[in-house]
Structure 1
């Protein structure tokens, strides 16, 4: 399974790009799943429906299924903020998982940036950003040796992901640990060396 994140501020175009990538990867024969972060209370259920009534009565989880679709809705007893690794663990097997949001997650990710939003960039201080997708490459506020992709060319972004597929092989940080505390992310001060190595690989034609 390959996993790639997409980070960026609201209005940057994350959802539009992810939607386009899902369609293109699916067309290429891949099974694709999406993990999406929601900042506010949300509900995919409908008041008055049986599943909603079960939840209102106090069910912790409700699973509803037909011969075409399955949904599971969980009500946390106390406020929770699951991390993307926990959410990926909820998924069935897929070829690609696209993770939208979770900008501080320890996942390799593409940063989405539009100059018109006026928002600061994340890539100078986030070692997990492996590329930038933007409609204004000349306006990037910090110099970078990372690949810069055309935000408006989903075909090119798809091709980039497929070329880099091996890099996105996913291994849960919990595979060799009894609990999530055992997982340690790369140190921030490793970033200059990592990017220097990446630049050398690109210079050698590794892409």
Structure 2
């Protein structure tokens, strides 16, 4: 397995559409926060999206050519960068943007083909179980049958058991930190 060394652990969460990646993460993130982990997330979007609203000053400034456009308040900030005619940003570049925030862990949702350790979610009947054959697979959260080709040395987690998955993520993150010492 050839992985890029990083200052913080990066865990990919990969699954076929409809498996419940976002549902799992919205339940998992509060648990990880309760357990003391500062977790960043990078989500891959397969379509155009906009976090800004027409009519707002930031939208008008961005439309006028501000690139990048950063909006900040005492509650949050958002950096928007237009990328027309360019390829999607490289995952390494996106991870470099996270470094300044010193996360304990960054979870990457999507980016199925990226060379990074992956927690693969698989629900019987949704997509192809071949997703469980990734060379970067470090654990699988499953619901249903996966067949006999699944590597028995890979941890199997119950896709419906958030506590079990949270414990595994904590242990995996700690092991990364111990390996960095």
Identify the TM-score tier after normalising by the shorter chain. Answer: 0.7 to 0.9
- State how far apart, in whole Å, the 1-side matches of 2:121 and 2:82 are: 31
Number of aligned residue pairs: 166
Alignment of 1:1-207 (within 5 A): 1-91=8-98, 92-124=101-133, 126-136=134-144, 139-141=145-147, 142-145=149-152, 146-169=154-177
Aligned-residue offset at 1:120:
3.6
Aligned-residue offset at 1:167:
4.3
| Structure 1 residue matching 2:16: 3-state secondary structure | coil
* Range with bigger deviation, 34-43 or 111-120: 111-120
Which residue does the alignment assign to 1:175? Answer: none
Whichever of the two has the greater Rg, that structure is 1
Q: Deviations over 1:6-34 (max 9, x none)?
A: 00111011111122221111111221111
Aligned-residue offset at 1:163:
1.5
Structure 1: 5+ residue runs without aligned partners? 170-207
In the superposition, the TM-score normalised over structure 1's length comes to 0.75
In the superposition, the TM-score normalised over structure 2's length comes to 0.86
Aligned-residue offset at 1:116:
2.5
CA contact (8 A) 1:4 1:108 kept: yes
CA contact (8 A) 2:16 2:127 kept: no
Aligned-residue offset at 1:80:
1.8
Structure 2: 5+ residue runs without aligned partners? 1-7
Runs of 4+ deviating beyond 2 Å: 118-121, 166-169
CA contact (8 A) 1:18 1:98 kept: no
Q: Larger RCO: Structure 1 or Structure 2 (Cα < 8 Å, ≥ 6 residues apart)?
A: 2
When the two chains are superposed, the root-mean-square deviation of aligned CA atoms in Å is: 1.5
- State how far apart, in whole Å, the 1-side matches of 2:176 and 2:11 are: 6
